Chains A and B, each alone.
Chain A
Amino acid sequence: MTEAVIETRTEEPERPRSKLLPWKVSEGFVAALPIIILLFIGFIGPMALVLIYSFMPRGSFSIPGSPSLENYVDIVEQDFYISFAWSLFLAFISVVILLIVCYPLAVALRRIKGRRAHLLTLLIVAPLFVAENIRLQGWVLFFDKGGFLDGALKVVTGLETGSLVNNVPAIVFGICYIYLPFMLFPILLGLGNVPREAREAAYDLGGSRWRVFRDIELPLAMPGILIGSLLCFVISLGAFNEAKFLGKGVIVTVAQDIESAFTFGQNWPRGSALSVLMIVLAGSAVWLAMRRVNLDRMLGRR
């Protein structure tokens, strides 16, 4: 009986290959098929449409048309660099501020245990359950002339703040406020890669607080820091509501230019060209960052 079973196993024929697919279909590929289809329909397809539209002439509302570079030429000639510069600046400065704010906060959260940690995490996550534009409108009502801060100060001290919105720092504040969780939680995960024993060993060997931070904590937590920074940089590049509500027209971001082109501008091709440039910009930032670091090694996969 045993021999028969062994024989049967050794003679088991190779799994037949699909007639449609000449290569062997792996189980991993089959398992990934739903997400591949979803990504193709929901991501690659629209991206391809946007790319094609960006080469269509002005006034095109459907794909057929003679391709041209006029949209890209217009973008260069019509000072769109101002919007790109502001979007890049806002993304960069916001990431720097978020790093400064979130790192110590994450360290503190790691050290707090039990119910207090859960409560603090809940308090940080709770705003995410409220729509972004409502939260931003709340800050407008807080900071604006005659708003909560101005009114309360006037009643209590007789002093007035006037309007504290309608400026670039207000926009930066809005971006940092909205995207704080997107920096905090990856850093928290990154700090999870720092074993307490490694830190204690470093101290035992005479390392100063700064050296332990520089040589032990920071490198081990870097995957989280990097992921948080990239995430915040890319989504801050598309900042729209923050500039609209808190900036009140003091500057124009690329996202606002794209919205204008698709709506009042009746210029889908230009909106598409601006979108393509934004995607290239965000993609380049990710590519550059990932070139400098080996995420697999950091995560200990090899």
Chain B
Amino acid sequence: MNSGNIFRNFSSSRRQFLKQSAALAAAVGVAPAALSAGAGSANAAAGAAYADELWEKTKADLAGMSDIRMDLNLHSWEGYTEEPVLDPFSRQTGANVNPQMLISDPAAVNNLRGGGTSTWDVINLNNSWQRNQLFPEGLITPLDKDKFAPLYDMNVTGFEWPYHWALDESGEHLLGMLQRYGPAGLAVSTDAVDPQTMESGGYMEMIEGAKGQYGILDYENWVIMHTCIASGFIPFREHTADEMAAFEENIFKLFENAKKVSDDQAALARDMITGEIIGTYPGSVYTVSAARLEGETQLVNVVPAEGPEETKTAERPNGQGGIVWIEITSLVNNPNPTPLAEAFLIYCHTPEAAYKVAAKAPGTLNPVVQMGAPEVLSQFSQDELEAVHWGEEGSWLASLVDRCIDFDINPDYDAMHDLYTQAKRARGA
């Protein structure tokens, strides 16, 4: 945990880091099949063709409908709220789309619980909310499985049909469609720190080794989840008193040792570029992708190479130290529904729209699972692929995702959030 060894000027190029990452991934036992993820299934091209056909048919059906509500109210993360995505949809359907960007998953869920089902038609959230809370509480409505399942053929390896988080507990109901995803661990500037040191040292390498030199990306639920992993256990189950004590110790240490706390990922990326901080906790592909597209490729997402004991298996002897989030878009159980909601989900799977969802969001680029289809992947420029850590045939991104457990609900979130807020306030004590 000596900070001196990690703050030397690390001058490896992006390619060198890519090679090192791939080598490390191989060393920790990532299966070759996983590394080749990103190349989609053999049916990927057929899936893309189906998306285009389905969209044409949907437009024709809409044109034949009368007396439908032409307002589409969209509550989603930033990828779906921008003109490059929405304007073609509005132009082709005549819909009047009213987007509202999310500020957090929990806030959006509470919004629906508080009567938002009468307002919203489409909700886009990270995985697990749909399966564990929204569908059981009657807040979203299932999709037509026969119509939507073939679209999963477009997806990269690991996100094929039947996909766990898109289905309800019984496996009967399709709850939504996947699109943007990304691994989350730490983000660092390779100008200031050796990313491999962070990968091997994990979260505590930043908390203790980079004391006073890192920023906290203050998405509260994510800070809590990563601090669970830093404390040696996964967040997504009930925790013992000893585990809660370990969490408390580390969350206080995390805030005490941080130089900055901000929920502005762009500001923190700027701080990494100017050398104000060496990295962020947590960090993801999306938190550095916009800066990477601008040529700041020294900013990279790293996922700790070793995870908690309970994540270690024969296939992954080092376990999984990161968390992968997958956005799922669902139909809200609106008492006055509009067919435009389903049409929007179909539209987002057309190769052109899927690319725009990935690359045209404000301030961030994200990979989409539809990059398994060559019709989608071919639209990305080389710089855009570099920005999303794609690597050779998607191997860099796949190796990061392979080190991650899936995002889920934390049953001890309330108690941990109390500790989190106390730790944050203690900075000013």
A141 shortest CB reach to chain B, Å: 9
**Can you list, as one digit per residue, whether each of B406-417 has a CB less than 8 Å from chain A (1) or not (0)?**
000000011001
Residues from chain A with a CB closer than 8 A to the CB of B264 are 245
A78 within 8 A of B: yes
| B 392-429 contacts with A by CB, 8 A | 413-414, 417-418, 421-422, 424-429
B216 within 8 A of A: yes
Is the beta-carbon distance between A61 and B428 smaller than 8 angstroms?
A: no
Is the beta-carbon distance between B276 and A144 smaller than 8 angstroms?
A: yes
Is the beta-carbon distance between A249 and B220 smaller than 8 angstroms?
A: no
Residues from chain B with a CB closer than 8 A to the CB of A268 are 110
User: Which A-chain residue is minimally distant from B429 (CB atoms)?
Assistant: A82
Residues from chain B with a CB closer than 8 A to the CB of A140 are 267
| Chain B: number of interface residues, binned into ranges | 35 or more
The stretch that binds A, out of B88-96, B166-174, B200-208, B255-263, is B255-263
Grouping DSSP codes into helix (H, G, I), strand (E, B) and loop, the A interface class, with mixed when no group exceeds half, is loop
The stretch that binds B, out of A120-128, A201-209, A256-264, is A256-264
**Can you list, as one digit per residue, whether each of B183-221 has a CB less than 8 Å from chain A (1) or not (0)?**
000000000000000000000000000000000101111
With A61-B114, A263-B104 already in contact, the answer to whether A251 and B422 are too (CB < 8 A) is: no
User: Which B-chain residue is minimally distant from A146 (CB atoms)?
Assistant: B274
One of B113, B216, B422, B426 near A61 (C-beta < 8 A): B113
What is the total of A-B residue contacts with beta carbons within 8 Å? 92
Is the beta-carbon distance between B276 and A163 smaller than 8 angstroms?
A: yes
Is the beta-carbon distance between B424 and A252 smaller than 8 angstroms?
A: yes
| B 222-277 contacts with A by CB, 8 A | 258-264, 267, 270-271, 273-276
**Can you list, as one digit per residue, whether each of B6-31 has a CB less than 8 Å from chain A (1) or not (0)?**
00000000000000000000000000
Tell me which of B109, B260, B262, B421 has the highest count of chain A C-beta atoms within 10 A of its own C-beta: B421
Residues from chain B with a CB closer than 8 A to the CB of A83 are 425, 428
User: Which A-chain residue is minimally distant from B259 (CB atoms)?
Assistant: A166
Is the beta-carbon distance between A263 and B107 smaller than 8 angstroms?
A: yes
Is the beta-carbon distance between B106 and A264 smaller than 8 angstroms?
A: yes
B103 within 8 A of A: yes
B36 shortest CB reach to chain A, Å: 37
A127 shortest CB reach to chain B, Å: 22
Is the beta-carbon distance between B113 and A249 smaller than 8 angstroms?
A: no
| B 96-113 contacts with A by CB, 8 A | 103-104, 106-107, 109-110, 113
One of B106, B274, B428 near A82 (C-beta < 8 A): B428
Is the beta-carbon distance between B261 and A79 smaller than 8 angstroms?
A: no
B193 shortest CB reach to chain A, Å: 17
Interface residue ranges, A against B (CB under 8 Å): 58-59, 61-62, 74, 78-80, 82-83, 86, 140, 144-146, 163, 166, 244-245, 248-252, 257, 260, 262-268
Ordered by A's residue number, 24 sampled pairs between the chains whose C-beta atoms are within 8 Å are A59-B414, A61-B110, A74-B418, A78-B422, A79-B422, A80-B425, A86-B428, A144-B270, A144-B271, A146-B270, A248-B261, A249-B218, A249-B424, A250-B261, A250-B428, A251-B428, A252-B427, A257-B425, A260-B421, A263-B104, A263-B106, A264-B107, A264-B417, A267-B414
